[in-house]
């Protein structure tokens, strides 16, 4: 079946929904999601979204910009970061006007709390004075992502946006050098549909499920990124994957930085507040990459706490915060500790460990979500990307907490506006002869395979390998093995078969296709991580422990050429802040 729309947006998380709101009346737009919009991973964000509103204390977007640049370990593009931090103030007010139920200050303004890596000069008159933590994160208790997702979804309903829920996109259609649609499987019926469009936006989210311990939803399998990659579009900075320091031990479920923003303290087996040694000024509110490394180091040097299954963790201590703060400010995450670990945060510390959390890398875009076809900046007309699947790059080598919710509303909107502009002149590019051919073959191959491999087994193996060989600390020897391992798994993947041969709601088929994307994404991460011979942000090499600006102050682009990944580079945009050593 062929559907025709001016715009197709794939993904109904924050970025996709925000973009959809920008498509003016008179143009047709459909949002495709493999789940229901309210199930999108944006909803799991907890602690807040930063903007220099200065509702609680003096602040400025320039300080926010500096923190984001420094947090990115100077790999973020400063023109993009400036756009984001300036626009943050308008974007948050807009969300409030849309109805988002923020927590409030005593005078009724949007309340703000401290968050990792967000600082101000201790003496505002002296920009070079010591930086101290600042209240910049706007929040709604610890459900900020949930209420943001719902507010955007509600506004889409108000505006009458077309949703195709439980439609699983399987391919991108490019003809005559222009992106002109997508192919999708309707999950309920198994029917393959073609969506012909003038413009397509991918807002398909991240791929944390490439790792065994992750905070990411089971749907975070990198579908959009890998579909783009397989269609010849490069991926930018794939080696940079953020591990959030405080995932619930064993499970990886996120315990927001807001817990430390409200005063929570990380402690080792001696009860020592170990972050004092790693980040003397901001301590527990250091950026995530540093805290995750500190936890790994504590555990490696014997100061972790051994759990019942022989694995190690450190403690997140909230016991001094008091019942009222916990109930009002962080009810959800303390509930997770009770439900999943049987721990009472009012009286006991919460066992935590770093968890795969956020992909800084992804589909390369300009500041208006237009997708680059190569490192030289050639644009693929008609194709846009925003949110975690995209790399603008505002997060560089390490994203600051709260900046992902900000990224999706700022660049989702800009992408939507750019599409609206493009539609004024764009025509429909004709569909190629058999737009569904590749997707049909992929589905048929899986359904008819008599192979001996089990998809769930391969998925577990890739997650284990990525976790063991390419997580917080990395080294060449293990990553070389990993590249081989992932390629082996890709070969074995060709020999999978599934038990469900039905058409209707075949989630086994869908998971098998998701695994294809997960493996493709894992390979690009491993290849790029092995390639970058320095330590920067979330990419910490044991064998190259220093940042190397001379050789590596550049973005890497990995592109599929003649069946092989090829890496090229793009310079970092530096405007206001020259790279400096990164200490907190």
Partner 1 sequence: MQVTFRIQKYNPETDTTPYYKEFVVDGVDETWRVLDVLEKIKGSMDGTLTYRRSCAHGVCGSDGMRINGRNRLACSILLKDLNYRNVVTLEPLPSMPVIKDLVVDLSDFYKKYELVKPYLITKTNPPEAERLQSNEDAEKLFESAKCILCACCSTSCPSLWTNENYLGPAALLKAYRFTFDTRDEAPEERLDIVDTQDGIWRCHTIFNCIEACPKEINITWHISQLKKALVNREI
User: Quick one: CA dihedral 507, 509, 512, 513, positive or negative?
Assistant: negative
Query: How far apart are alpha carbons 168 and 238 in whole angstroms?
Result: 24
Q: How far is the CB of 514 from partner 1 (least distance, A)?
A: 12
Radius of gyration of the chain, Cα coordinates, nearest whole angstrom: 23
Q: How far is the CB of 444 from partner 1 (least distance, A)?
A: 17
Q: How far is the CB of 292 from partner 1 (least distance, A)?
A: 20
Output DSSP code: residue 370.
E
Q: Which residues of the shown chain bind partner 1 in the complex (CB under 8 A)?
A: 35-36, 38-41, 43-44, 92-93, 96-99, 101-111, 140-141, 143, 146-147, 150, 154-155, 157-158, 188, 217-219, 251, 253, 328, 332, 336, 339-342, 454, 456-457, 459-460, 498-500, 502-508
Q: Which of 120, 267, 288, 541 is catalytic?
A: 288
Query: How far apart are alpha carbons 436 and 242 in whole angstroms?
Result: 35
Burial class (CB in 10 A: 0-12, 13-18, 19+), 577: middle
For residues 318 and 327, is the Cβ–Cβ distance under 8 A? no
User: What DSSP letter does each residue of 38-94 carry, written as one string?
Assistant: GGSGGGG--S-EE----SSS---HHHHHHHHHHHTTT-S-HHHHHHHHHHHHHHHHH
Q: β-strand 178-186 against 192-202: which pairing, if any?
A: antiparallel
Query: How far apart are alpha carbons 334 and 308 in whole angstroms?
Result: 21
- Comparing CB distances to partner 1, the nearer of 121 and 345 is 345
Q: How far is the CB of 38 from partner 1 (least distance, A)?
A: 5
- Comparing CB distances to partner 1, the nearer of 2 and 157 is 157
Q: β-strand 363-364 against 167-175: which pairing, if any?
A: unpaired
Output DSSP code: residue 304.
S
Tokens of residue 21, six digits: 């709101």
Query: How far apart are alpha carbons 291 and 294 in whole angstroms?
Result: 5
- Comparing CB distances to partner 1, the nearer of 214 and 367 is 214
Q: CA separation (Å) from 310 to 81, 121, 269, 424, 461?
A: 42, 43, 15, 61, 20
Tokens of residue 228, six digits: 């783009």
Q: How far is the CB of 62 from partner 1 (least distance, A)?
A: 20
Q: How far is the CB of 46 from partner 1 (least distance, A)?
A: 9
Residue 239: which of 284, 197, 289 has the closest Cα?
Answer: 289
Q: How far is the CB of 102 from partner 1 (least distance, A)?
A: 7
Q: β-strand 379-385 against 370-372: which pairing, if any?
A: antiparallel
For residues 23 and 426, is the Cβ–Cβ distance under 8 A? no
Note if 288 is an active site residue.
yes
Q: How far is the CB of 316 from partner 1 (least distance, A)?
A: 16
> What does residue 409 show for φ and ψ, rounded to 5 degrees?
-80, -30
Tokens of residue 329, six digits: 């400010």
**Count of Cβ atoms closer than 10 Å to residue 125 Cβ:** 6
List CB contacts of 130: < 8 A, sequence separation 6 or more.
121, 122, 281
Q: How far is the CB of 393 from partner 1 (least distance, A)?
A: 26
> Catalytic amino acids?
288
């Amino acid at each position: 079946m062929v559907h025709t729309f001016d715009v197709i947006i794939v993904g109904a998380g924050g970025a996709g929904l925000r973009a959809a709101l920008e498509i003016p009346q008179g143009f047709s737009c459909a949002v495709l999601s493999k789940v229901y919009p309210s199930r999108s991973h944006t909803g799991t964000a907890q602690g807040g979204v930063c903007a220099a509103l200065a509702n609680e204390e003096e602040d400025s977007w320039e300080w926010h910009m500096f923190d984001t640049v420094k947090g990115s370990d100077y790999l973020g593009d400063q023109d993009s970061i400036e756009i984001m931090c300036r626009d943050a103030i308008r974007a948050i007010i807009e969300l409030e006007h849309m109805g988002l139920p923020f927590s409030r200050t005593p005078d009724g303004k949007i309340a703000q709390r401290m968050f990792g890596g967000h600082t101000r000069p201790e003496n505002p008159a002296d920009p070079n004075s010591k930086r101290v933590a600042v209240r910049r994160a706007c929040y709604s208790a610890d459900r900020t992502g949930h209420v943001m997702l719902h507010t955007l979804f509600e506004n889409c309903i108000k505006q009458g946006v077309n949703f195709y829920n439980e439609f699983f996109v399987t391919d991108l259609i490019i003809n005559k050098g222009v992106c002109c649609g997508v192919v999708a499987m309707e999950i309920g019926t198994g029917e393959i549909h073609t969506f012909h469009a003038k413009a397509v936006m991918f807002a398909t989210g991240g791929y944390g499920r490439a790792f065994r311990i992750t905070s990411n939803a089971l749907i975070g399998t990198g579908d959009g990124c890998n579909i783009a990659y397989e269609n010849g579009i490069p991926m930018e900075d794939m080696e940079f994957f953020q591990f959030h320091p405080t995932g619930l031990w064993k499970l990886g479920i996120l315990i927001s930085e807001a817990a430390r923003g409200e005063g929570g303290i990380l402690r080792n087996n001696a009860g020592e507040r170990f972050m004092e040694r790693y980040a003397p000024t901001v301590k527990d509110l250091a950026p995530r990459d540093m805290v995750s490394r500190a936890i790994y180091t504590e555990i490696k040097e014997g100061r972790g706490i051994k759990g019942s299954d022989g694995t190690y963790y450190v403690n997140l201590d909230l016991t001094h915060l008091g019942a009222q703060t916990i109930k009002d400010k962080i009810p959800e995450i303390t509930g997770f500790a009770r439900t999943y670990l049987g721990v009472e945060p009012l009286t006991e510390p919460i066992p935590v460990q770093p968890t795969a959390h956020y992909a800084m890398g992804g589909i390369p875009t300009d500041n208006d979500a237009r997708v680059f076809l190569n490192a030289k900046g050639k644009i693929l007309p008609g194709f846009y990307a925003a949110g975690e699947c995209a790399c603008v790059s505002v997060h560089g080598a390490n994203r600051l907490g709260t900046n992902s919710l900000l990224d999706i509303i700022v660049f989702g909107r800009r992408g939507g506006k750019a599409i609206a502009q493009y539609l004024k002149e764009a025509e429909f590019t004709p569909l190629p002869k058999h737009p569904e051919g590749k997707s049909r073959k992929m589905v048929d191959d899986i359904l008819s395979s008599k192979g001996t491999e089990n998809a769930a087994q391969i998925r577990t193996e890739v997650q284990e390998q990525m976790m063991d060989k390419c997580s917080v600390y990395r080294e060449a020897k293990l990553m070389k093995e990993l590249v081989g391992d992932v390629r082996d798994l890709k070969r074995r993947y060709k020999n999978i078969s599934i038990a469900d041969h039905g058409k209707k709601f075949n989630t086994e088929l869908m998971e098998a296709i998701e695994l294809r994307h997960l493996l493709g994404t894992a390979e690009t991460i491993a290849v790029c991580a092995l390639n970058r011979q320095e330590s920067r942000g979330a990419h910490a090499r044991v064998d190259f422990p220093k940042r190397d600006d001379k050789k590596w102050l550049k973005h890497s682009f990995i592109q599929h050429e003649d069946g092989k990944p090829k890496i090229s580079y793009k310079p970092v945009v530096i405007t206001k802040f020259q790279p400096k050593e990164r200490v907190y």
